[in-house]
Chain A
C-alpha cells in the first residue's frame, strides 16, 4: 500500500493505492490523523487504485469522518470507488454512510459549496 498527499484549492487530496487491511490501515489512520491535527478539515480520498478495503480500513475512514464532523465544517469525501468495493458497501449497507463522489473534480466542487 502506498499513498500520497497533495493540497488542492479547497481540500487535501490523499491518493491511496494497493490493499487497505489490518496491516496497512494504521498507516492511513496516522496520515489522516496528522492532517486533522494540522487543521486540514476538508479531506478528499482518491480510491481509484485501492485493490482491497477491509473493515479495519472502513473503521479508519469512519473514525476520520467522525473527527472531521466534530470540527464543525469538516468533511471527508471518498472518490473513484472501485466497483467491487462499492458493491460490498451496498451489500453491507454502507453506501450512504460515506460521502462518495464519482471523480476528483466533482468532489472538489462539493468542497467549494
Chain B
C-alpha cells in the first residue's frame, strides 16, 4: 500500500497538473489505458465541480488529493474547504432526450458515478467536503 498526497490551488489551469498527477500514479499501478483515462476524467470532473460549486470561483481555496494504491484498486480522496455541495440533489442528465430540450446540468457528477466503482461524497464535516473515489483493476 502506498499513499501520496498533493495539494493544488483551486483553479482551472491546475486541472492539467492534477490530471498528470493522477495519470502517473494510476499508470504506474498497472491500470489499462482506458481505466487510467476513466480515473483521470472522474478526478477532473470532481475538481472542476469543487471550483464551480464549492468555491464558486477560481483561487478561492485549495484542493487536496490523496491517492492510495492497493494491489487490487486505487482509492482517491479529494478534500476542499468550500461550501457544501450535495451531489445527490443534482439530477442525472437525460442524454436520451431530444437535442433541443436536453438539459446537461449534472454531467460531471454523472460521469464520476459512471466511471468509478465507488463514489462517496461527504459534506457532513464543518471543516471540509470530501469525495472518496474507488476503482478496481479489471485485469
Min distance, Cβ A89 to any Cβ of chain B, angstroms: 10
Min distance, Cβ A98 to any Cβ of chain B, angstroms: 10
| Chain A contact residue count (CB 8 A cutoff) | 24
Q: Is A8 at the interface (CB under 8 A from chain B)?
A: no
* A-contacting 9-mer, from B31-39, B70-78, B117-125, B129-137: B31-39
Distance of A97 Cα from B99 Cα, bound (Å): 8
- DSSP majority for the B interface? helix
Distance of A58 Cα from B102 Cα, bound (Å): 13
* Pairs across A and B, CB under 8 Å, 24 listed: A21-B15, A22-B15, A22-B51, A23-B12, A52-B44, A54-B44, A54-B108, A55-B48, A55-B111, A56-B48, A58-B104, A62-B99, A66-B100, A69-B99, A83-B34, A84-B34, A88-B37, A88-B111, A91-B114, A91-B115, A92-B111, A93-B95, A93-B96, A97-B99
